[in-house]
Structure 1
Protein backbone atom coordinates (compact mmCIF):
# COMPACT_ATOMS: atom_id res chain seq x y z
CA UNK A 1 0.00 0.00 0.00
CA UNK A 2 1.29 3.44 -0.93
CA UNK A 3 0.97 5.74 2.07
CA UNK A 4 -0.30 9.32 1.96
CA UNK A 5 1.60 11.78 4.14
CA UNK A 6 -0.07 15.18 4.39
CA UNK A 7 2.26 18.17 4.50
CA UNK A 8 0.71 20.74 6.85
CA UNK A 9 3.06 23.65 6.11
CA UNK A 10 0.27 25.62 4.42
CA UNK A 11 -1.87 25.35 7.55
CA UNK A 12 0.96 26.97 9.49
CA UNK A 13 1.29 29.68 6.82
CA UNK A 14 -2.39 30.54 7.21
CA UNK A 15 -2.11 30.59 11.00
CA UNK A 16 1.00 32.76 10.96
CA UNK A 17 -0.63 35.34 8.67
CA UNK A 18 -2.86 36.53 11.51
CA UNK A 19 -1.02 35.45 14.64
CA UNK A 20 -2.79 33.46 17.31
CA UNK A 21 -3.68 29.83 16.79
CA UNK A 22 -6.31 29.77 14.04
CA UNK A 23 -6.27 27.35 12.37
CA UNK A 24 -5.02 25.04 15.10
CA UNK A 25 -2.11 23.14 13.57
CA UNK A 26 -2.28 20.23 16.03
CA UNK A 27 -6.01 19.77 15.48
CA UNK A 28 -5.59 19.80 11.71
CA UNK A 29 -2.83 17.17 11.98
CA UNK A 30 -5.08 14.95 14.10
CA UNK A 31 -8.02 15.52 11.74
CA UNK A 32 -5.89 14.51 8.74
CA UNK A 33 -5.09 11.25 10.48
CA UNK A 34 -8.74 10.71 11.41
CA UNK A 35 -9.73 11.27 7.77
CA UNK A 36 -7.28 8.63 6.58
CA UNK A 37 -3.81 10.16 6.22
CA UNK A 38 -1.04 7.65 6.87
CA UNK A 39 1.43 10.27 8.00
CA UNK A 40 2.11 13.94 8.67
CA UNK A 41 4.92 15.90 7.01
CA UNK A 42 6.44 19.19 8.14
CA UNK A 43 9.27 21.22 6.65
CA UNK A 44 10.65 23.75 9.15
CA UNK A 45 12.76 26.41 7.44
CA UNK A 46 15.33 28.69 9.10
CA UNK A 47 13.04 31.76 9.02
CA UNK A 48 10.09 29.72 10.42
CA UNK A 49 7.78 31.37 7.91
CA UNK A 50 5.36 28.46 8.17
CA UNK A 51 6.25 25.52 10.43
CA UNK A 52 8.04 26.73 13.55
CA UNK A 53 10.52 24.65 15.45
CA UNK A 54 8.13 24.85 18.41
CA UNK A 55 5.44 23.25 16.23
CA UNK A 56 7.67 20.24 15.67
CA UNK A 57 8.09 19.76 19.41
CA UNK A 58 4.33 20.25 19.94
CA UNK A 59 3.58 17.58 17.32
CA UNK A 60 6.03 15.14 18.90
CA UNK A 61 4.17 12.30 20.54
CA UNK A 62 0.80 13.52 19.22
CA UNK A 63 1.17 12.05 15.75
CA UNK A 64 -0.46 8.62 15.74
CA UNK A 65 0.77 7.75 12.25
CA UNK A 66 4.20 8.32 10.69
CA UNK A 67 5.98 11.62 11.29
CA UNK A 68 8.15 12.87 8.42
CA UNK A 69 10.36 15.94 8.86
CA UNK A 70 11.84 17.50 5.74
CA UNK A 71 14.69 19.96 5.60
CA UNK A 72 18.22 20.94 4.78
CA UNK A 73 20.57 19.22 7.26
CA UNK A 74 21.98 22.29 8.97
CA UNK A 75 23.33 21.95 12.49
CA UNK A 76 20.08 23.35 13.91
CA UNK A 77 17.96 20.97 11.82
CA UNK A 78 20.05 17.97 12.79
CA UNK A 79 19.80 18.90 16.47
CA UNK A 80 16.02 19.10 16.06
CA UNK A 81 15.48 15.77 14.33
CA UNK A 82 17.91 13.78 16.45
CA UNK A 83 16.02 15.07 19.49
CA UNK A 84 12.53 14.46 18.09
CA UNK A 85 13.43 11.15 16.38
CA UNK A 86 10.60 11.13 13.80
CA UNK A 87 9.79 8.08 11.73
CA UNK A 88 11.55 9.57 8.73
CA UNK A 89 13.78 12.51 7.82
CA UNK A 90 13.70 13.64 4.20
CA UNK A 91 16.84 15.52 3.22
CA UNK A 92 16.32 18.39 0.77
CA UNK A 93 18.96 20.69 -0.73
CA UNK A 94 17.06 23.94 -0.17
CA UNK A 95 19.03 27.06 0.62
CA UNK A 96 17.79 29.33 3.44
CA UNK A 97 16.10 31.70 0.96
CA UNK A 98 14.29 29.04 -1.09
CA UNK A 99 10.55 29.61 -1.46
CA UNK A 100 9.97 25.91 -1.96
CA UNK A 101 11.95 22.84 -2.95
CA UNK A 102 12.89 23.23 -6.60
CA UNK A 103 15.52 20.56 -7.32
CA UNK A 104 16.87 17.31 -6.02
CA UNK A 105 20.30 16.71 -4.53
CA UNK A 106 23.38 16.34 -6.66
CA UNK A 107 24.21 13.11 -4.90
CA UNK A 108 27.48 12.72 -6.78
CA UNK A 109 28.86 16.07 -5.68
CA UNK A 110 27.47 15.77 -2.15
CA UNK A 111 28.11 12.06 -1.60
CA UNK A 112 30.47 12.39 1.38
CA UNK A 113 28.30 15.06 3.03
CA UNK A 114 25.13 13.01 2.63
CA UNK A 115 26.82 9.81 3.78
CA UNK A 116 27.91 11.53 7.01
CA UNK A 117 24.42 12.96 7.63
CA UNK A 118 22.74 9.63 6.97
CA UNK A 119 25.14 7.83 9.29
CA UNK A 120 24.09 10.20 12.09
CA UNK A 121 20.39 9.76 11.39
CA UNK A 122 20.66 6.01 11.10
CA UNK A 123 22.53 5.87 14.40
CA UNK A 124 19.59 7.74 15.93
CA UNK A 125 17.17 5.11 14.61
CA UNK A 126 15.61 7.38 11.98
CA UNK A 127 14.62 6.23 8.50
CA UNK A 128 16.17 8.43 5.81
CA UNK A 129 15.05 9.63 2.40
CA UNK A 130 16.99 11.77 -0.09
CA UNK A 131 15.11 14.17 -2.38
CA UNK A 132 16.33 13.53 -5.95
CA UNK A 133 15.47 14.31 -9.54
CA UNK A 134 14.36 11.49 -11.83
CA UNK A 135 17.95 10.78 -12.82
CA UNK A 136 19.31 7.24 -12.56
CA UNK A 137 22.81 8.42 -11.66
CA UNK A 138 21.46 10.53 -8.80
CA UNK A 139 19.51 7.49 -7.58
CA UNK A 140 22.61 5.29 -7.75
CA UNK A 141 24.66 7.72 -5.69
CA UNK A 142 21.83 8.13 -3.19
CA UNK A 143 22.17 4.39 -2.63
CA UNK A 144 25.93 4.82 -2.16
CA UNK A 145 25.18 7.40 0.53
CA UNK A 146 23.36 4.71 2.51
CA UNK A 147 19.84 6.14 2.44
CA UNK A 148 16.81 3.93 3.06
CA UNK A 149 14.68 5.66 0.45
CA UNK A 150 14.65 8.33 -2.20
CA UNK A 151 11.90 10.88 -2.76
CA UNK A 152 11.37 11.65 -6.42
CA UNK A 153 10.97 15.38 -7.09
CA UNK A 154 7.80 15.32 -9.17
CA UNK A 155 7.32 18.94 -10.25
CA UNK A 156 8.56 18.16 -13.81
CA UNK A 157 6.03 15.32 -13.99
CA UNK A 158 3.23 17.62 -12.85
CA UNK A 159 4.19 20.36 -15.32
CA UNK A 160 4.35 17.99 -18.29
CA UNK A 161 1.37 15.81 -17.38
CA UNK A 162 -1.25 17.98 -19.17
CA UNK A 163 0.82 17.92 -22.39
CA UNK A 164 1.77 14.24 -22.58
CA UNK A 165 1.28 12.15 -19.49
CA UNK A 166 3.08 9.08 -20.86
CA UNK A 167 6.18 11.10 -21.67
CA UNK A 168 5.92 12.94 -18.37
CA UNK A 169 5.94 9.80 -16.26
CA UNK A 170 8.56 7.84 -18.24
CA UNK A 171 11.74 9.15 -16.52
CA UNK A 172 10.14 8.68 -13.12
CA UNK A 173 9.32 5.07 -13.88
CA UNK A 174 12.92 4.44 -14.91
CA UNK A 175 14.30 6.15 -11.81
CA UNK A 176 11.91 4.20 -9.59
CA UNK A 177 12.91 0.93 -11.26
CA UNK A 178 16.58 1.75 -10.65
CA UNK A 179 15.85 2.50 -7.00
CA UNK A 180 13.92 -0.74 -6.58
CA UNK A 181 16.77 -2.71 -8.15
CA UNK A 182 19.18 -1.10 -5.68
CA UNK A 183 16.96 -2.02 -2.73
CA UNK A 184 15.79 1.52 -2.03
CA UNK A 185 12.28 2.49 -1.02
CA UNK A 186 10.62 5.06 -3.28
CA UNK A 187 8.69 8.12 -2.13
CA UNK A 188 7.41 10.95 -4.32
CA UNK A 189 6.35 14.52 -3.80
CA UNK A 190 5.94 18.06 -5.13
CA UNK A 191 2.96 19.35 -7.12
CA UNK A 192 1.13 16.03 -7.05
CA UNK A 193 -2.63 16.56 -7.16
CA UNK A 194 -5.97 14.84 -7.55
CA UNK A 195 -5.53 15.31 -11.30
CA UNK A 196 -2.15 13.64 -11.76
CA UNK A 197 -1.50 11.35 -8.77
CA UNK A 198 -3.40 8.27 -9.90
CA UNK A 199 -1.51 8.03 -13.19
CA UNK A 200 1.80 8.19 -11.34
CA UNK A 201 0.61 5.46 -8.97
CA UNK A 202 -0.57 3.23 -11.84
CA UNK A 203 2.87 3.44 -13.42
CA UNK A 204 4.83 3.09 -10.16
CA UNK A 205 2.57 0.93 -7.98
CA UNK A 206 5.48 0.09 -5.65
CA UNK A 207 5.66 3.66 -4.34
CA UNK A 208 6.06 3.57 -0.56
CA UNK A 209 4.76 7.07 0.14
CA UNK A 210 3.63 10.31 -1.43
CA UNK A 211 3.97 13.55 0.49
CA UNK A 212 1.46 16.21 -0.57
CA UNK A 213 0.67 19.61 0.88
CA UNK A 214 0.04 22.60 -1.36
CA UNK A 215 -2.42 21.01 -3.80
CA UNK A 216 -4.19 19.01 -1.11
CA UNK A 217 -4.79 22.01 1.15
CA UNK A 218 -5.82 24.14 -1.84
CA UNK A 219 -8.31 21.53 -3.04
CA UNK A 220 -9.67 21.21 0.50
CA UNK A 221 -10.79 24.85 0.30
CA UNK A 222 -13.33 23.76 -2.31
CA UNK A 223 -14.39 20.28 -1.27
CA UNK A 224 -13.37 20.02 2.38
CA UNK A 225 -10.42 18.37 4.08
CA UNK A 226 -12.03 14.98 4.71
CA UNK A 227 -13.31 14.54 1.16
CA UNK A 228 -9.97 15.67 -0.25
CA UNK A 229 -7.97 13.17 1.80
CA UNK A 230 -10.37 10.40 0.79
CA UNK A 231 -9.85 11.44 -2.83
CA UNK A 232 -6.08 11.23 -2.52
CA UNK A 233 -6.33 7.84 -0.85
CA UNK A 234 -8.48 6.67 -3.77
CA UNK A 235 -5.77 7.84 -6.17
CA UNK A 236 -3.50 5.30 -4.51
CA UNK A 237 -5.74 2.35 -5.30
CA UNK A 238 -6.47 0.30 -8.41
CA UNK A 239 -9.62 2.21 -9.14
CA UNK A 240 -10.63 5.00 -11.50
CA UNK A 241 -13.06 6.47 -8.95
CA UNK A 242 -11.38 9.41 -7.20
CA UNK A 243 -14.20 11.35 -5.55
Structure 2
Protein backbone atom coordinates (compact mmCIF):
# COMPACT_ATOMS: atom_id res chain seq x y z
CA UNK A 1 0.00 0.00 0.00
CA UNK A 2 1.39 3.42 -0.96
CA UNK A 3 1.89 6.35 1.41
CA UNK A 4 -0.97 8.16 -0.35
CA UNK A 5 -3.33 5.21 0.22
CA UNK A 6 -2.28 4.92 3.86
CA UNK A 7 -2.73 8.66 4.37
CA UNK A 8 -6.22 8.42 2.87
CA UNK A 9 -7.14 5.78 5.45
CA UNK A 10 -5.68 7.89 8.26
CA UNK A 11 -7.65 10.94 7.10
CA UNK A 12 -10.86 8.91 6.98
CA UNK A 13 -10.27 7.55 10.49
CA UNK A 14 -9.57 10.98 11.98
CA UNK A 15 -12.66 12.31 10.20
CA UNK A 16 -14.75 9.54 11.77
CA UNK A 17 -13.26 9.92 15.25
CA UNK A 18 -13.78 13.68 15.32
CA UNK A 19 -17.34 13.28 14.07
CA UNK A 20 -17.97 10.66 16.75
CA UNK A 21 -16.84 13.15 19.41
CA UNK A 22 -19.67 15.51 18.44
CA UNK A 23 -22.27 12.92 19.50
CA UNK A 24 -23.28 13.77 23.05
CA UNK A 25 -20.27 15.98 23.74
CA UNK A 26 -19.38 19.68 23.56
CA UNK A 27 -17.54 19.50 20.23
CA UNK A 28 -19.36 21.29 17.38
CA UNK A 29 -19.23 20.43 13.68
CA UNK A 30 -19.87 22.38 10.48
CA UNK A 31 -20.15 20.84 7.02
CA UNK A 32 -19.40 22.75 3.83
CA UNK A 33 -18.78 21.29 0.34
CA UNK A 34 -15.55 19.30 0.58
CA UNK A 35 -14.84 20.52 4.12
CA UNK A 36 -15.75 19.46 7.65
CA UNK A 37 -14.79 21.72 10.56
CA UNK A 38 -14.78 21.07 14.31
CA UNK A 39 -14.84 23.54 17.19
CA UNK A 40 -14.83 23.55 20.96
CA UNK A 41 -16.58 26.86 21.75
CA UNK A 42 -15.05 29.46 24.02
CA UNK A 43 -11.68 30.97 24.81
CA UNK A 44 -8.63 28.95 25.73
CA UNK A 45 -9.77 25.62 24.28
CA UNK A 46 -6.96 23.42 22.92
CA UNK A 47 -5.98 24.21 19.34
CA UNK A 48 -6.10 20.58 18.23
CA UNK A 49 -9.89 20.62 18.72
CA UNK A 50 -10.33 23.69 16.49
CA UNK A 51 -9.64 21.83 13.30
CA UNK A 52 -10.64 21.83 9.63
CA UNK A 53 -10.42 18.73 7.44
CA UNK A 54 -10.66 19.23 3.67
CA UNK A 55 -10.71 17.21 0.45
CA UNK A 56 -8.95 19.61 -1.95
CA UNK A 57 -7.54 23.11 -2.14
CA UNK A 58 -10.44 24.53 -4.16
CA UNK A 59 -13.03 23.39 -1.61
CA UNK A 60 -10.85 24.79 1.16
CA UNK A 61 -10.55 28.18 -0.55
CA UNK A 62 -14.33 28.45 -0.92
CA UNK A 63 -14.89 27.54 2.73
CA UNK A 64 -12.38 29.80 4.51
CA UNK A 65 -14.61 32.87 4.69
CA UNK A 66 -17.65 31.08 6.17
CA UNK A 67 -15.38 29.14 8.52
CA UNK A 68 -13.75 32.30 9.87
CA UNK A 69 -17.21 33.71 10.62
CA UNK A 70 -18.32 30.46 12.30
CA UNK A 71 -15.29 30.26 14.57
CA UNK A 72 -15.70 33.94 15.45
CA UNK A 73 -19.35 33.38 16.43
CA UNK A 74 -18.28 30.52 18.72
CA UNK A 75 -15.67 32.66 20.48
CA UNK A 76 -12.77 30.63 19.12
CA UNK A 77 -9.58 32.68 19.00
CA UNK A 78 -7.45 30.32 16.89
CA UNK A 79 -8.11 27.40 14.55
CA UNK A 80 -5.98 25.21 12.35
CA UNK A 81 -6.00 23.40 9.02
CA UNK A 82 -3.71 20.34 8.88
CA UNK A 83 -2.16 20.27 5.40
CA UNK A 84 -1.05 16.94 4.01
CA UNK A 85 2.49 16.37 2.68
CA UNK A 86 3.09 17.94 -0.72
CA UNK A 87 -0.21 19.87 -0.93
CA UNK A 88 1.34 23.15 -2.05
CA UNK A 89 -1.97 24.36 -3.50
CA UNK A 90 -3.63 24.25 -0.06
CA UNK A 91 -0.60 25.95 1.50
CA UNK A 92 -0.86 28.80 -1.01
CA UNK A 93 -4.60 29.21 -0.34
CA UNK A 94 -4.01 29.38 3.41
CA UNK A 95 -1.06 31.77 3.16
CA UNK A 96 -3.15 34.20 1.09
CA UNK A 97 -5.91 34.03 3.71
CA UNK A 98 -3.57 34.96 6.56
CA UNK A 99 -2.87 31.53 8.03
CA UNK A 100 0.65 30.71 9.19
CA UNK A 101 2.47 27.38 9.38
CA UNK A 102 3.15 26.74 13.07
CA UNK A 103 4.00 23.11 13.71
CA UNK A 104 4.36 19.68 12.17
CA UNK A 105 2.81 16.39 13.26
CA UNK A 106 4.30 13.09 12.04
CA UNK A 107 1.83 10.53 10.71
CA UNK A 108 2.45 6.78 10.75
CA UNK A 109 0.93 3.43 9.78
CA UNK A 110 1.46 -0.24 10.63
CA UNK A 111 0.05 -3.43 9.05
CA UNK A 112 -1.46 -5.50 11.86
CA UNK A 113 -0.10 -8.99 12.50
CA UNK A 114 0.86 -8.82 16.17
CA UNK A 115 0.00 -11.51 18.74
CA UNK A 116 -1.23 -10.47 22.21
CA UNK A 117 1.56 -9.04 24.39
CA UNK A 118 3.41 -11.06 26.99
CA UNK A 119 2.73 -9.48 30.38
CA UNK A 120 5.36 -9.32 33.13
CA UNK A 121 4.44 -10.61 36.61
CA UNK A 122 2.05 -8.36 38.50
CA UNK A 123 0.86 -6.63 35.31
CA UNK A 124 -2.64 -6.89 33.84
CA UNK A 125 -4.10 -5.66 30.57
CA UNK A 126 -7.74 -4.64 30.99
CA UNK A 127 -10.58 -3.44 28.79
CA UNK A 128 -12.41 -0.66 30.66
CA UNK A 129 -16.08 0.14 30.14
CA UNK A 130 -15.47 3.90 29.93
CA UNK A 131 -12.72 6.45 29.28
CA UNK A 132 -12.42 7.76 32.85
CA UNK A 133 -9.04 6.29 33.78
CA UNK A 134 -7.58 6.72 30.29
CA UNK A 135 -8.42 10.42 30.45
CA UNK A 136 -6.96 10.75 33.97
CA UNK A 137 -3.67 9.47 32.57
CA UNK A 138 -3.87 11.91 29.65
CA UNK A 139 -4.50 14.78 32.07
CA UNK A 140 -1.39 13.81 34.06
CA UNK A 141 0.70 13.73 30.88
CA UNK A 142 -0.67 16.64 28.87
CA UNK A 143 -2.56 18.84 31.33
CA UNK A 144 -6.21 19.00 32.33
CA UNK A 145 -6.81 21.90 29.95
CA UNK A 146 -6.16 19.57 27.02
CA UNK A 147 -8.60 16.84 28.04
CA UNK A 148 -11.17 18.52 30.28
CA UNK A 149 -13.68 18.64 27.43
CA UNK A 150 -13.96 14.84 27.63
CA UNK A 151 -15.57 15.10 31.08
CA UNK A 152 -18.94 15.80 29.47
CA UNK A 153 -18.50 13.14 26.76
CA UNK A 154 -19.51 9.62 27.80
CA UNK A 155 -19.17 7.37 24.75
CA UNK A 156 -19.94 3.68 24.81
CA UNK A 157 -16.84 1.53 24.44
CA UNK A 158 -18.45 -1.16 22.36
CA UNK A 159 -18.59 -2.68 18.89
CA UNK A 160 -21.59 -0.47 18.08
CA UNK A 161 -19.45 2.66 18.49
CA UNK A 162 -16.17 1.26 17.16
CA UNK A 163 -14.34 2.76 20.16
CA UNK A 164 -12.31 0.49 22.43
CA UNK A 165 -9.74 1.05 25.18
CA UNK A 166 -7.04 -0.80 27.09
CA UNK A 167 -5.47 -0.11 30.47
CA UNK A 168 -2.25 -1.53 31.88
CA UNK A 169 -2.25 -1.98 35.65
CA UNK A 170 0.46 -2.89 38.10
CA UNK A 171 -0.53 -3.71 41.67
CA UNK A 172 -3.98 -2.33 40.94
CA UNK A 173 -2.80 1.08 39.68
CA UNK A 174 -3.72 2.21 36.17
CA UNK A 175 -0.34 3.24 34.73
CA UNK A 176 -0.87 3.35 30.96
CA UNK A 177 -3.74 3.33 28.52
CA UNK A 178 -5.00 4.23 25.08
CA UNK A 179 -7.91 3.84 22.67
CA UNK A 180 -8.60 2.44 19.23
CA UNK A 181 -11.28 3.89 16.95
CA UNK A 182 -12.12 1.33 14.28
CA UNK A 183 -13.74 1.89 10.90
CA UNK A 184 -13.48 0.01 7.60
CA UNK A 185 -10.68 -2.29 8.73
CA UNK A 186 -8.53 0.53 10.10
CA UNK A 187 -7.65 1.07 13.76
CA UNK A 188 -6.90 4.68 14.63
CA UNK A 189 -4.78 4.89 17.78
CA UNK A 190 -5.51 7.86 20.08
CA UNK A 191 -5.06 9.11 23.65
CA UNK A 192 -2.08 6.89 24.48
CA UNK A 193 -0.55 7.96 27.80
CA UNK A 194 1.75 6.56 30.49
CA UNK A 195 1.82 7.78 34.08
CA UNK A 196 4.85 10.08 34.53
CA UNK A 197 6.14 7.87 37.36
CA UNK A 198 6.02 4.75 35.18
CA UNK A 199 7.79 5.83 32.01
CA UNK A 200 10.61 3.84 30.39
CA UNK A 201 9.23 0.59 31.80
CA UNK A 202 7.77 -0.66 28.52
CA UNK A 203 4.16 -0.02 29.54
CA UNK A 204 3.40 2.16 26.52
CA UNK A 205 4.53 -0.69 24.27
CA UNK A 206 2.20 -3.06 26.16
CA UNK A 207 -0.71 -0.68 25.54
CA UNK A 208 0.10 -0.48 21.84
CA UNK A 209 0.50 -4.24 21.44
CA UNK A 210 -2.75 -4.79 23.30
CA UNK A 211 -4.60 -2.33 21.06
CA UNK A 212 -3.06 -3.93 17.96
CA UNK A 213 -3.93 -7.50 18.96
CA UNK A 214 -7.50 -6.56 19.89
CA UNK A 215 -8.05 -4.63 16.65
CA UNK A 216 -6.64 -7.51 14.60
CA UNK A 217 -9.01 -9.93 16.34
CA UNK A 218 -11.92 -7.64 15.41
CA UNK A 219 -10.94 -7.70 11.74
CA UNK A 220 -8.71 -4.63 11.35
CA UNK A 221 -5.68 -4.98 9.08
CA UNK A 222 -4.03 -1.58 9.62
CA UNK A 223 -3.23 0.79 12.49
CA UNK A 224 -2.73 4.53 11.87
CA UNK A 225 -1.85 7.43 14.13
CA UNK A 226 -0.51 10.95 14.52
CA UNK A 227 2.66 10.79 16.60
CA UNK A 228 3.62 13.08 19.44
CA UNK A 229 7.27 13.92 19.98
CA UNK A 230 7.28 11.66 23.05
CA UNK A 231 5.74 8.70 21.25
CA UNK A 232 7.46 8.80 17.86
CA UNK A 233 10.43 6.67 18.88
CA UNK A 234 8.20 4.03 20.47
CA UNK A 235 6.08 3.76 17.33
CA UNK A 236 9.17 3.38 15.16
CA UNK A 237 10.42 0.55 17.38
CA UNK A 238 7.05 -1.15 17.02
CA UNK A 239 7.46 -1.09 13.23
CA UNK A 240 5.34 1.91 12.26
CA UNK A 241 6.13 3.48 8.90
CA UNK A 242 6.46 7.25 8.56
CA UNK A 243 3.98 8.78 6.11
CA UNK A 244 5.25 12.35 6.35
CA UNK A 245 4.37 15.23 8.63
CA UNK A 246 1.14 17.21 8.41
CA UNK A 247 1.67 20.95 8.78
CA UNK A 248 -0.74 22.93 10.97
CA UNK A 249 -1.69 26.19 9.27
CA UNK A 250 -3.18 28.39 11.99
CA UNK A 251 -5.44 31.44 11.83
CA UNK A 252 -5.40 33.58 14.98
CA UNK A 253 -7.79 36.38 15.87
CA UNK A 254 -6.32 39.84 15.41
* TM-score range for the pair, normalised by the shorter chain length: 0.3 to 0.5
Greater share of helix: 1
Of structures 1 and 2, the larger Rg is shown by 2
Greater relative CO, 1 or 2 (CA 8 Å, sep 6+): 2
State the TM-score, normalized to the length of structure 2.
Answer: 0.31
Greater share of strand: 2
State the TM-score, normalized to the length of structure 1.
Answer: 0.32
